[in-house]
Amino acid sequence: MIHNQQLLTKEAVQSKPSRPAYVPGVLQIKIKNDVVNEVPDLRGASPASIRALRLPTMVDEPFAALRQKRAIQEVVPVFSRMTSGQAFTMALTSVAAAFTMSVRDSENRDLRGINLLRLSKNANLEEVAKDLRKTAGVEYVHLVPARWASAPQPINNASDPFANRQWGLRAINYFQVASMPNASKVKVAVLDTGLDTSHPDLQNFSTYIHDGASARDIVGHGTHVAGIIAATANNNIGIKGICHCDLNIWKIFGDEKAADGEYYVDEVMYQRALNAARNSGMRALNLSIGGTVYTQTEALLIRR
């Protein structure tokens, strides 16, 4: 898989001091598989029995302390194949159930045990992470990087006749070939702000997945990126894409702005999209997102 992730330079980060480095109130935790060996089967379990589930004492202690402080708001087994229904809804409020689901129902073996832990606003993430790293059965814990679209507004290339204004086409010697390259068998993934499915220059996409959000492109950035790659050429509409390809789109942003007025990547949508892209056999993947930190979870998802 080809990975194109545009992390901001130090100078660019310094010019945007208002952007947080991490998602507030969220930790990512990967537990060892044997932690849930003694937890009963969740299938058919009643809500009361799910609430009563507990992990081995040495593992459960720090989470029990967090529960006592009402610090745990939600636990998301990110790569569980079950993403709806009563058992999944109950698991979101039960550490033991979520951890069990994350191990036993994982989409991929190497992603077993990965969960997102959402904590209350008054929780000290650094201190909680430090305590959890000392806990038996925990493989790793890290804060979740905040990520955003690296270019907040799309460039306006009005129509095909103005394709000569597309500097990128000249940069790759596009106009020196006789016809638009045919890469129809190459599976390309774009993980971005969404897609304008009504755009007449982008009716050639194969899939558009926006689970967890509306279908709309929140700022137009994803549509812009998809157009650079595969906008229909020579139709007197929009711009020219660089090739015909098997174009697959994942929306990884929610529909609402954060408190600072910016749109940020939704951590669950993003991680599930990365895994879906690798499971779907994508040959090229575009991530035009900014950020300042690279995590162990992303390394697992991008490694192939």
What are 126-183's pLDDT values in tens digits?
999 999 999 999 999 999 999 998 754 443 333 354 465 566 776 777 776 666 678 8
E strand residue ranges, 70-164: 72-77, 114-119, 138-145, 148-149
- Domain map (residue ranges) of the chain: 2-17+148-302, 22-145
Tokens representing 290 are: 């900014």
d(CA 266, CA 62): 27
22-145 CATH pick, 3.10.620, 3.30.70, 3.30.700, 3.30.300: 3.30.70
Cβ(132)–Cβ(27) below 8 Å: yes
Predicted TM-score (pTM) of the model is 0.80
User: Tens digits of per-residue pLDDT, 42-90?
Assistant: 777 777 888 888 888 888 999 999 999 999 999 999 999 887 766 677 7
The CATH number corresponding to 2-17+148-302 among 3.40.50.200, 2.60.40.1120, 1.10.3130.10, 3.40.640.10 equals: 3.40.50.200
Nearest to 206 by CA among 183, 228, 187: 187
CA distances from 6 to 150, 151, 204, 286, 291 (A): 7, 10, 26, 9, 8
Classify burial at 141, counting beta carbons within 10 Å of its beta carbon; exposed 0-12, middle 13-18, buried 19 or more.
Answer: buried
* CA-based nearest residue to 228, from 150, 154, 151, 153: 154
What residues does 187 pair with on adjacent strands? 246
